[in-house]
Amino acid sequence: MIYYQYMKSPVGKLLVAGNDKGTCLISFPKGANPAMPESDWVKKRNPLQEVLRQLEAYFAGKLKAFSLDICLNATPFQKKVLTALRQVPYGETISYGELAKNIGNPKASRAVGQANARNPLPIVIPCHRVIGSSGKLTGFGGGIEVKQTLLDLEQKYR
Of 81, 94, 127, 130, the active-site residue reads 127
- Are 146 and 11 in contact, with CB atoms under 8 Å apart? yes
Q: What is the number of other CB atoms lying within 10 angstroms of the CB of residue 10?
A: 11
- Is 24 catalytic? The answer is no
- Dihedral over alpha carbons 91, 96, 97, 103 (to 10 degrees): 90
User: 3-state SS of the chain: helix, strand, coil percent to 5?
Assistant: 35, 15, 50
Hey, which residues are catalytic here?
127
